[in-house]
């Protein structure tokens, strides 16, 4: 395998091309009615390569990838589980692919039925009263959730409520979402065992509290044990509870956010429900709501009536926060999630949560025995857990980032590094339920060998990776001197 | 071991405070903070004239690892943000207690007294507790 691959523009030669892809020659007369100011003065500088050169270029690039189809990918908080081929196969049926989003409802009943059943299954598994599928990603699902919370308070004439409480163990996106929705963020700490500090929560709730955003299990890889108490405090203060579905995989089929007291939830279908993601998206961030937020759901939602299924719109949900996407969101992703849930069934879904948690706890115990420090040794792991390499960083001057880079040489994608920010020198490891014991053992073996290297030949770890197409990138310089455009003319001049 | 100059005051959230000759206060982040964040790539400082409340986020320091808010240790008026940091955020890494100051404030005596600032020795203990 070649370890370098040029930018496609570097293969470009004047006049070379693939007839199928090349834009047709344009007759300047056809553009005469375009205002001069809107016409480009020079042609776009597209690469001129043959079809075979384009195929080889992108195939070689794909071979440089770490992916779930080639490597164990324990990227914490991302749930990089196997995406069953069957989901893809059925979602690619020509009747789905060729369906036009503006086709009449009567000719799309099969598609609508799939989405309706997906809504019903998601309601059942999360314990919510309504589900809307249109948000196109987790971030948009979060936006929809907080927008609904605000709409609820406004509709009650309680519009002064604009504070969103965010524990420091929450997802980093939560404060961003609250700010996007015009709220003020009130951060509260967690205690030494990783649970929300209830005294701090009591101190911040009040007449301005719009709600709280929680991830449970939290980003610390532990279950929030006093969630019922948190719900009581926030509800008594007049606020609502938002559940960030980032870690839903841990509790799938076991505990339901609706039963914990949550009023609204977003679900990353591309994580828990196994549609492709991680650069291969797109995602889907369906939202679920309790009774209080039902009137505010984003539209469209699929409804069932005598005689069939139809889109529910502004007419059915006049208080809706509105539309978040053209049509119904990422239809292909929703279909894959639907098929995944149908394949699993109720018992299968319970096994997802159980095996994801079992795999994480197995890895945690074995790595602790191998000499690594758990960030919360007194706690059982959820579907993921945190190691802190603070001791190795101090004693051996080998950091979490060095371990992560060296793992690439051993054929493993690195875990999430330096997140959550609360834990110094941390690795957040999420194996998911689809990995075998042999794979987990091989990962333990690799980390153990790297630990031995860190003790005996630390420079080897500090200078890793040694076998990748690129070594350590200068990410600081890349951020300080942004250079995002390839300039063919500059290359010709040099 | 990170530096903790004895002549400055501190907060538990890793800001330092220096009293200037004219009685105004200069605020920055500590050596421990800049070291934990790593190489900074972006710094946002508050504009002169802004009134801030105690505990309000009024500056942002961003590294390749994380973006962190810097909180006002006390209520008062911002009289200057460090203009040099927009083009040279790395100054905070290289000289956090000097040229890498973030902003200056005018603060009433009562607000300052109420802030409960830490001495260098007290701040050192905070760092030790976090495992430095």
Would you say residue B83 lies in a domain?
A: yes
Query: Which residue, among A206, A328, A348, A329, has the nearest Cα to A273 in the 3D structure?
Result: A348
Cβ atoms of B60 and B44 closer than 8 Å: yes
Would you say residue B126 lies in a domain?
A: no
CB–CB of B42 and A390 under 8 A? Answer: no
Per CB-CB distance under 8 Å, the chain A contacts of B66 are 418, 421
* Of A93 and A63, more confident: A93
Q: How far is B73 from chain A (nearest CA, A)?
A: 16
Residue A214, strand partner residues: A243
CB–CB of A421 and B131 under 8 A? Answer: no
Q: How far is B17 from chain A (nearest CA, A)?
A: 23
At residue A392, the 3 state secondary structure works out as helix
Range of lowest pLDDT (A166-170, A255-259, A444-448, A490-494): A490-494
Residue A1, pLDDT > 60, answer no
What would the pLDDT profile of A69-99 be if each residue is shown by its tens digit?
899 999 999 999 999 999 999 999 999 999 9
Residue A492, pLDDT > 60, answer no
Q: pTM score, two decimals? A: 0.88
Closest in A421, A424, A476 to B39, CB measured: A476
Nearest CA in chain B to A173: B67
Would you say residue B78 lies in a domain?
A: yes
CB–CB of B131 and A424 under 8 A? Answer: yes
Task: Give the torsion through C-alpha atoms of A355, A360, A363, A366, to 10 deg.
Answer: -100
How distant is the alpha carbon of residue A118 from its chain centre? 19
What range does the domain containing B26 cover? 9-120
**Given this model, what pLDDT does residue A391 score?**
97
**Given this model, what pLDDT does residue B131 score?**
61
Would you say residue B130 lies in a domain?
A: no
Please compute the mean of the pLDDT values over residues B91-98 and round it to a whole number. Answer: 96
What would the pLDDT profile of A215-266 be if each residue is shown by its tens digit?
999 999 999 999 999 999 999 999 999 999 999 999 999 999 999 999 999 9
Q: How far is A481 from chain B (nearest CA, A)?
A: 9
Residue A486, pLDDT > 80, answer no
Residue A287, C-beta contacts closer than 8 angstroms, at least 6 positions apart: A131, A132, A135, A141, A144, A145, A148, A264, A265, A266, A267, A297, A298
Please compute the mean of the pLDDT values over residues A379-399 and round it to a whole number. Answer: 96
Q: How confident is the model at residue A494 (pLDDT cuts 50, 70, 90)?
A: very low
CB–CB of A424 and B65 under 8 A? Answer: no
CB–CB of B66 and A476 under 8 A? Answer: no
Per CB-CB distance under 8 Å, the chain A contacts of B86 are none
Mean pLDDT (chain A) is 92
Rounded-to-integer distance, Cα A367 and Cα A388, Å = 11
Would you say residue B1 lies in a domain?
A: no
Instruction: Write out the CATH class of domain A86-344.
Output: alpha beta
Please state the domain count of chain B.
Answer: 1
Please compute the mean of the pLDDT values over residues B29-36 and round it to a whole number. Answer: 93
Q: How confident is the model at residue B118 (pLDDT cuts 50, 70, 90)?
A: very high
Please compute the mean of the pLDDT values over residues A333-353 and round it to a whole number. Answer: 96
Question: Which residues 31-90 of chain B have a CB within 8 Å of chain A?
Answer: 36, 38-39, 41-42, 64-66, 68, 89-90
Rounded-to-integer distance, Cα A339 and Cα B47, Å = 54
CB of A390 within 8 Å of any CB in chain B? yes
Closest in A390, A421, A475 to B64, CB measured: A475
**Given this model, what pLDDT does residue A4 score?**
78
CB–CB of B41 and A479 under 8 A? Answer: yes
What would the pLDDT profile of A18-29 be if each residue is shown by its tens digit?
877 666 666 777
Per CB-CB distance under 8 Å, the chain A contacts of B65 are 418, 421
Residue A83's CB is within 10 A of a number of other CB atoms, namely 20
CB of B108 within 8 Å of any CB in chain A? no
Closest in A390, A418, A480 to B65, CB measured: A418
CB of A480 within 8 Å of any CB in chain B? yes
Would you say residue B92 lies in a domain?
A: yes
Please compute the mean of the pLDDT values over residues B32-57 and round it to a whole number. Answer: 92
Residue A55, C-beta contacts closer than 8 angstroms, at least 6 positions apart: none
**Given this model, what pLDDT does residue A115 score?**
97
Instruction: Tell me how long chain A is.
Output: 494
**Omega before A420 cis (within 30°)?**
yes
Q: How confident is the model at residue B1 (pLDDT cuts 50, 70, 90)?
A: low
Domain locations along chain A: 8-63, 86-344, 352-478
Q: Which fold has domain A352-478?
A: 3.90.1150
CB–CB of A424 and B41 under 8 A? Answer: no
Per CB-CB distance under 8 Å, the chain A contacts of B36 are 424
Per CB-CB distance under 8 Å, the chain A contacts of B42 are 479
CATH of the domain at B13: 2.40.50.100
Closest in B64, B68, B130 to A479, CB measured: B64
Which of B39, B42, B60, B69 to mutate against chain A (most A CBs within 10 Å)? B39
Query: Which residue, among A230, A171, A228, A170, has the nearest Cα to A198 in the 3D structure?
Result: A230
One-letter-per-residue 3-state SS of A76-131: CCCCCCCCCHHHHHHHCCHHHHCCCCCCCHHHHHHHHHHHHHHHHHHHHHHCCCEE
Would you say residue B129 lies in a domain?
A: no
The percent of residues above 90 in pLDDT, for chain A, comes to 78
Cβ atoms of A115 and A334 closer than 8 Å: yes
Rounded-to-integer distance, Cα A284 and Cα B68, Å = 28
Element (H, E) at A355: helix A331-369
């Amino acid at each position: 395998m070649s370890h370098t691959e040029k930018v496609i523009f570097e293969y470009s030669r004047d006049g070379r091309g693939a007839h199928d892809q090349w834009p047709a020659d344009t007759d300047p007369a056809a553009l005469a009615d375009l205002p001069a100011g809107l016409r480009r003065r020079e042609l776009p500088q597209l690469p001129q390569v043959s079809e075979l050169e384009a195929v080889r270029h992108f195939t070689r690039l794909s071979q440089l990838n770490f992916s779930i189809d080639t490597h164990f990918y324990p990227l914490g908080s991302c749930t990089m589980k196997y995406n069953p081929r069957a989901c893809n196969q059925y979602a690619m049926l020509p009747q789905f692919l060729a369906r036009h989003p503006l086709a009449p409802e009567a000719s799309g009943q099969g598609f609508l039925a799939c989405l309706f059943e997906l809504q019903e299954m998601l309601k059942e598994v999360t314990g919510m009263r309504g589900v809307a599928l249109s948000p196109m990603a987790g971030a948009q699902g979060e936006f929809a959730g907080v927008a609904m919370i605000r709409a609820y308070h406004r509709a009650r004439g309680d519009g002064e409520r604009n504070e969103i409480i965010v524990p420091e163990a929450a997802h980093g996106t939560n404060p961003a979402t609250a700010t996007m929705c015009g709220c003020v963020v009130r951060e509260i700490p967690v205690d030494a065992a990783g649970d929300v500090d209830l005294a701090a929560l009591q101190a911040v709730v009040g007449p301005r509290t719009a709600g709280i955003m929680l991830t449970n299990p939290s980003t610390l890889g532990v279950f929030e044990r006093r969630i019922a108490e948190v719900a009581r405090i926030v509800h008594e203060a007049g606020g609502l509870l938002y559940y960030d579905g980032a870690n839903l995989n841990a509790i799938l089929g076991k505990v339901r956010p609706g039963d914990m007291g949550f009023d609204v939830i977003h679900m990353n279908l591309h994580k828990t429900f196994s549609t492709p993601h991680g650069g291969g998206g797109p995602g889907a961030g369906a939202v679920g709501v309790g009774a209080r937020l039902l009137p505010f759901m984003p539209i469209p939602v699929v409804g069932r009536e005598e005689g069939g299924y139809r889109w529910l719109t502004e007419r059915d949900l006049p208080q809706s926060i509105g539309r978040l996407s053209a049509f119904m969101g990422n239809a292909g992703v929703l279909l894959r999630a639907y098929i995944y849930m149908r394949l699993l069934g109720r018992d299968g879904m319970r096994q997802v949560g159980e095996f994801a948690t079992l795999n994480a706890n197995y890895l945690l115990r074995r790595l602790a025995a191998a000499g690594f420090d758990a960030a919360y040794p007194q706690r059982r792991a959820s579907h993921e857990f945190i190691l802190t390499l603070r001791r190795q960083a101090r004693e051996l001057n080998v950091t979490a980032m060095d371990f992560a880079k060296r793992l690439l040489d051993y054929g493993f994608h690195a875990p999430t590094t330096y997140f959550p920010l609360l834990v110094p020198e941390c690795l957040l490891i999420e194996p998911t339920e689809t990995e075998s014991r042999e794979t987990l053992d091989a990962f333990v073996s690799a980390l153990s060998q790297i630990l031995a290297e860190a003790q005996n030949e630390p420079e080897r770890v500090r200078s890793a990776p040694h076998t990748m197409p690129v070594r350590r990138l200068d990410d600081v310089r890349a951020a300080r001197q942004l250079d995002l455009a390839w300039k063919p003319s500059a290359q010709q001049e040099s | 071991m990170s530096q903790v100059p004895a002549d400055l005051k501190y907060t538990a959230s890793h800001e330092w405070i220096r009293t200037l000759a004219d009685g105004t206060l200069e605020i920055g982040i500590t050596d421990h903070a800049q070291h934990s964040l790593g190489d900074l790539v972006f710094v946002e400082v508050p504009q002169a004239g802004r009134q801030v409340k105690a505990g309000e986020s009024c500056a942002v320091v961003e590294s390749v690892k994380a973006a962190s808010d810097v909180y006002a240790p006390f209520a008062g008026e911002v009289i200057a943000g460090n203009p040099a940091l927009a083009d040279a955020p790395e100054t905070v890494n290289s000289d956090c207690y000097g040229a890498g100051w973030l902003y200056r404030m005018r603060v009433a005596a009562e607000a300052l007294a109420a802030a409960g600032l830490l001495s260098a020795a007290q701040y050192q203990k905070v760092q030790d507790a976090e495992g430095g």
